[in-house]
């Protein structure tokens, strides 16, 4: 730390991303990436785009917005594209929380970091049994940010529940972070035309196998999109690079590849959850591409450490409310079979199961 930074930067506790280790090859089930490569159409388009890297990208990314708008049946004026959906969240906290913000006490860790960074007052209603209590967000009188499905629980709210929150807060922004919605949640995108206060934030990082490209988008009323654009043009007008623009267009258009990948993840998740339960784990009912699970036979941290030794990376959170659990990203079915067999070995070695 230098002596030059603002006091609030000195005090800030930054977001800790999941490990991206380089020491050896792991089966990586710790950052909710897709185990599948991007669509072959994406790979080809990116290669072609490199020839124009001497030129700035289109700051409006019109062609990409059109592709997204067509896919979701909205107007391109209702679409904002961003450098990862983290950028949308950043802008919401930076500029759209005039009366403060509320988000669940257990959720995506970045919300708190942004609130602290931008000096936004925040409240954090507690989950009940790992579930969001909708009544905590009705008539909130401040901005509401909710991940649906929530992280790291994987549990989702129904569209009716989301709508009740949006409808009861007409004078405040309600931002629904749908990073995981393609794996089984109900999207609030259909409500965009009806509510001017709703922002739906989504990402290509998980269900479209493009975490490395950094691409997210928001669907919202034209007025809110204008606000997001104003912030973008005041920070980083060329926020989406040329390769990512074409990658996004092809990823949206390759519907069959997208369907195939997300169905494979849903199937692997259901298989893995059932198998874990069969060996005594409690597994929260997930609508995401990860499961949150614990066992009475082994602590969360110990399981994490033992799996790491065996070449599997999962995510463990040291927060005392979460530390019995691990968040395990869903990989291929073969990844999940290998992981299950490692978990069984660990329990057998410790005399917890006899085989
Ligand atoms: C992964 C994730 C994001 C951010 O993803 P980007 O890679 O920045 O698009 C946002 N919200 C939640 C809840 C996430 O898990």
DSSP states of 260-283: HHHHHHHHHHHHHHHHHHHTT-EE
Asked whether residue 353 carries a pLDDT value surpassing 80, the answer given is no
Give the chain's mean pLDDT: 96
Average pLDDT over every residue of 63-70: 98
pLDDT at position 23: 76
Which letter does DSSP use for residue 315 in this model?
B
* CA 336 – CA 315 distance, rounded (Å): 15
In whole angstroms, give the CA distance from residue 240 to residue 229. Answer: 13
Q: Indicate if ligand 1 lies below 6 Å from the C-beta of 147.
A: yes
Q: How far is CA 219 from CA 174, 187, 195, 204, in A?
A: 12, 11, 11, 14
> What pLDDT shows up at residue 170?
98
What residues contact 83, with CB distance under 8 A and at least 6 apart? 214, 215, 216, 236, 239, 240
Q: Is 154 touching ligand 1 by the criterion CB < 6 Å?
A: no
Whether 177 lines ligand 1, by a CB cut-off of 6 Å, is yes
Cα 206 to averaged position of ligand 1 atoms, centre (Å): 8
- Give the three-class secondary structure for 338: helix
Note if the bond before 149 is cis, omega within 30 degrees. yes
**pLDDT of the residue at 350:** 87
- List the Cα angle 206/209/210 in 5-degree steps: 90
Dist. CA 133 → ligand 1 center (Å)? 22
| Span 281-306, pLDDT tens digits | 999 999 999 999 999 999 999 999 99
Q: Inform me whether the pLDDT recorded for 8 exceeds 90.
A: no
Phi, psi of 318, deg, nearest 5: -85, -10
Mutate which of 20, 202, 203, 248 for ligand 1? The one with the most ligand atoms within 8 Å of its CB, which is: 203
Q: Looking at residue 330, what is its pLDDT? A: 98
3-state secondary structure of 326: strand
Of ligand 1's atoms, which has the minimum distance to the CA of residue 89? 10
Question: What pLDDT does residue 19 have?
Answer: 77
Residues 7-19: what's their mean pLDDT? 86
Q: What percent of the chain has pLDDT over 90?
A: 92
pLDDT at 284: 98
- Name the one residue in this structure whose structure tokens are 């940010």: 145
Strand 325-329 to 290-294 pairing: antiparallel
What spacing in Å lies between the alpha carbon of 333 and ligand 1's midpoint? Answer: 23
Residue 27 contacts residue 337 (beta carbons within 8 Å)? no
Q: Tell me the sheet residues that pair with 123.
A: 102
The secondary structure element, H or E, covering residue 44 is helix 40-49
Tens digits of per-residue pLDDT, 228-259? 999 999 999 999 999 999 999 999 999 999 99
pTM above 0.85, yes or no: yes
* pLDDT attached to residue 354: 66
Cis bond before residue 51 (omega within 30° of 0)? no
Mean pLDDT of 222-229: 98
Q: How far is the CA of 203 from the centre of ligand 1 (A)?
A: 7
Confidence grade of residue 355 (pLDDT, cut at 50, 70, 90) = low
Atom of ligand 1 nearest to the CA of 87: 8
Mean pLDDT in residue range 181-200: 97
Q: What is the CA radius of gyration of the chain?
A: 21
Residue whose CA is at the smallest distance from ligand 1 atom 14: 179
Write the pLDDT tens digit of every residue in 25-54.
Answer: 899 999 999 999 999 999 999 999 999 999
Nearest CA to ligand 1 atom 12: 179
Is the pLDDT confidence value at 320 over 80?
yes
Mutate to test the pocket of ligand 1, among 16, 38, 85 (most ligand atoms within 8 A of CB): 85
Residues 77-136 have pLDDT tens digits of 999 999 999 999 999 999 999 999 999 999 999 999 999 999 999 999 999 999 999 999
């Amino acid at each position: 730390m230098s002596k030059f930074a603002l006091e609030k930067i000195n005090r800030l506790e930054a977001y800790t991303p999941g490990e991206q280790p380089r020491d050896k090859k792991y089966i990586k089930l710790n950052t909710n990436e897709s185990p599948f490569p991007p669509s072959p159409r994406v790979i080809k388009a990116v290669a072609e785009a490199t020839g124009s890297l001497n030129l700035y990208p289109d700051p409006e990314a019109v062609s990409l917005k059109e592709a997204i708008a067509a896919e979701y049946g909205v107007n391109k004026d209702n679409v904002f594209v961003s450098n990862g959906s983290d950028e949308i969240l950043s802008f919401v906290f930076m500029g759209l929380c005039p009366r403060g913000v509320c988000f669940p006490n257990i959720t995506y860790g970045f919300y708190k970091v942004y609130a602290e960074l931008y000096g936004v007052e925040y409240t954090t209603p507690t989950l009940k049994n790992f579930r969001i209590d909708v009544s905590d967000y009705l008539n909130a009188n401040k901005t509401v940010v909710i991940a649906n499905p929530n992280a790291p629980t994987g549990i989702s709210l129904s569209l009716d529940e989301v709508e009740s929150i949006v409808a009861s807060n007409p004078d405040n922004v309600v931002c629904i972070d749908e990073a995981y919605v393609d794996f089984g949640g109900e999207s609030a995108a259909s409500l965009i035309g009806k509510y001017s206060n709703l922002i739906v934030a989504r990402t290509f990082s998980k269900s479209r196998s493009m975490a490395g490209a950094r691409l997210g988008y928001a669907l919202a009323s034209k007025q809110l999109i204008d606000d997001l654009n104003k912030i973008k043009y005041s920070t980083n007008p060329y926020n989406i690079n040329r390769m990512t623009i074409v990658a996004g267009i092809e990823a949206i258009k390759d519907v069959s590849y997208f369907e195939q990948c997300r169905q494979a993840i849903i199937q692997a998740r259901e298989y893995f959850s059932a198998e874990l339960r069969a060996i005594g784990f409690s597994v929260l009912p997930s609508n995401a591409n990860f499961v949150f699970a614990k066992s009475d036979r082994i602590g969360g941290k110990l399981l994490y450490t033992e799996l790491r030794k065996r070449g599997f990376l999962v995510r463990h959170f040291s927060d005392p409310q979460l530390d019995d659990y691990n968040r395990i990203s869903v990989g291929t079915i073969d990844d999940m079979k290998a992981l299950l067999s490692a978990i069984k070995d660990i329990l057998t070695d410790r005399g917890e199961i006899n085989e």
